[in-house]
Amino acid sequence: MLEFQGISFIVAQEPLYPVSTQELLLVEEKLQVLFPEDYRTFITTFGSGTFLDLPLRVFSPHDILENLLSEVRERLAMYWFWQDNSESLTQTLAVECIPCFDSYSGDDILFHSSNRNRLFILPHGNEEIYTFESFKDLCHWYINRYVSLQPPFHFSPHQSLIDVEEI
């Protein structure tokens, strides 16, 4: 059994595929941003993947750069269902955010470069934006939202076949 910030999980399919520090740094350089510290630690320790019982997916830096960033930004620019809150996140700022997680229920989980360790959840089907300062708080929000969830959770790693020189 593995643990990250007090969240216990089991690897559903061995092995893990941690992202190399080199790949992470190259993507950060291209995006001109540092990813959240918790994300950086998780991705370089365990890699990208999907929690099978906790509705959370962890994106690889390469997928963020090549696919998800433009897709999420375009969608948020066209469709905005959440209440603008200057203390939290406006649509203008959301379009500048970078996705690093999401949920299979359709929640976007992003951060803004002005405060890289603050995560925003834009829940599907809810107009309120939630803010968290850690991966642990993010996980606990889902655990509390879906009362039946109990650790240890099962994590299914995704293998990235990206050559760092392709970035």
Residue 81 within a domain? yes
CATH number of the domain encompassing residue 25: 3.40.1580.10
Integer Cα distance of 124 and 31 in angstroms: 26
pLDDT band for position 153 (50/70/90)?
very high
pLDDT band with cut points at 50, 70 and 90 for residue 148: confident
> What pLDDT, in 10s, does the model give residues 9-59?
999 988 999 999 999 999 999 999 999 999 999 999 999 999 999 999 999
167 and 64 Cβ atoms separated by less than 8 Å: no
Whether the model clears a pTM of 0.85, i.e. scores above it, the answer is yes
Answer yes or no: is 165 within a domain. Answer: no
**Which H or E run includes 49?**
strand 49-51
In the chain, the number of structural domains is 1
Measuring CA to CA, how many Å separate 4 from each of 1, 20, 29, 90, 106?
10, 18, 26, 31, 24
